[in-house]
Structure 1
Amino acid sequence: MTAALMGRTWSVLVPHHVSGARLARHQLTKTLASRIRPNFLADVMTVVAELVGNAVRHARPLPDGMIRVTCQLIPTWPSDTIRIRVTDGGSSGSPQLRTATPEALNGRGLTIVAALARRWGVENLGTGRCVWAELCGPDTGSIL
């Protein structure tokens, strides 16, 4: 379920399951498709999928068994910014960039996030952890 918060912020709860990334992408694509340009939307959904996939693979769920994904559209000049926050129950390790060999089947998620995002980071919360990323849209604004 997607809920609008404060007008330009949307949040969705998805299960801590491999289907979580797909569900988050589908719900947020429906919400954002009329608000940002298609190429920018593709980058945003790639980052959402990578961050949710990492949360499922490496972290515990929130106490309710879910992962929270929040997208905030921030109108800025010369391009708009999307802030993505994926909140989970945390893990013993900290998310970090890895170097994957060409043959590796995984290990590229945060490298992809870092390539698409202007910046990204990790916040430790009392109930878990939030991995966030900010992406800048095309110049002259991404709002349609």
Structure 2
Amino acid sequence: MSGCLEVSERASCVVVPHHAQAAGLARRRVAVELSPRLGPETLADVTAIVSELVGNAVLHARPLPDGGVRVAWQVGPQSIELRVTDGGAVELPHVRRVGPESLNGRGLSIVAALSDRWGVVRDGLGQCVWAELRHAA
């Protein structure tokens, strides 16, 4: 697709608007694209991670110059990589410690729990938060 971050030749992506409905739009698109290729448990983890990362991008970061947030995914033989790219924020994304009464602040804790590894890459355009999960081939 045009305007997508090229993770590899076989990567797919979608650009969603930088607004409150973005996480739901991205989650539905990823679910439709990946449901034939992933088992239900892995698909549930993938859509939860996408939802959290896009929600964080909308809440904490600026949009990309085109006004959107880019969501890319690549399914390999044993793992799937997810990337959410936004225009960046003042602070790097990090896991926060929150109490049981807190209403928010658990997004990256969820990503860390569901993925095998995750991280943040910054470049001149913004930042990309990525996560990788193993899956059964």
- In the aligned structure 1, how far is the partner of 2:19 from the partner of 2:135? 30
- In the aligned structure 1, how far is the partner of 2:120 from the partner of 2:13? 18
Give 2:63's match in structure 1, choosing from 61, 64, 67: 61
Question: Which residue of 2 is the match for residue 83 of structure 1?
Answer: 81
- In the aligned structure 1, how far is the partner of 2:105 from the partner of 2:22? 19
2:69 corresponds to which letter in structure 1? Answer: I
Per-residue deviation, 1:93: 0.5
Q: TM-score, normalised by structure 2?
A: 0.92
Partner of 1:97, secondary structure, is coil
Per-residue deviation, 1:40: 0.4
Aligned length: 134
Per-residue deviation, 1:10: 1.1
Provide structure 2 residue ranges, at least 5 long, that are not aligned to the other structure. none
2:113 aligned with 1:115, yes or no? Answer: yes
Question: Which residue of 1 is the match for residue 130 of structure 2?
Answer: 132
Q: Deviations over 1:50-91 (max 9, x none)?
A: 00000000000000100000010011xxxx211000000001
Give 1:95's match in structure 2, choosing from 88, 93, 96: 93
1:111 corresponds to which letter in structure 2? Answer: S
Per-residue deviation, 1:6: 2.5
Partner of 1:87, secondary structure, is strand
Partner of 1:30, secondary structure, is helix
Q: Deviations over 1:26-65 (max 9, x none)?
A: 1111110001111100000000000000000000000010
Give 2:40's match in structure 1, choosing from 38, 54, 62: 38
Provide structure 1 residue ranges, at least 5 long, that are not aligned to the other structure. none
Question: Which residue of 1 is the match for residue 9 of structure 2?
Answer: 6
Moved over 4 A (4+): 1-5
- In the aligned structure 2, how far is the partner of 1:26 from the partner of 1:96? 25
* Aligned-residue RMSD, C-alpha: 1.8
User: Identity over aligned residues, as a percent?
Assistant: 53
- In the aligned structure 1, how far is the partner of 2:39 from the partner of 2:121? 29
Higher strand proportion (structure 1 or 2) = 1
- In the aligned structure 2, how far is the partner of 1:37 from the partner of 1:135? 13
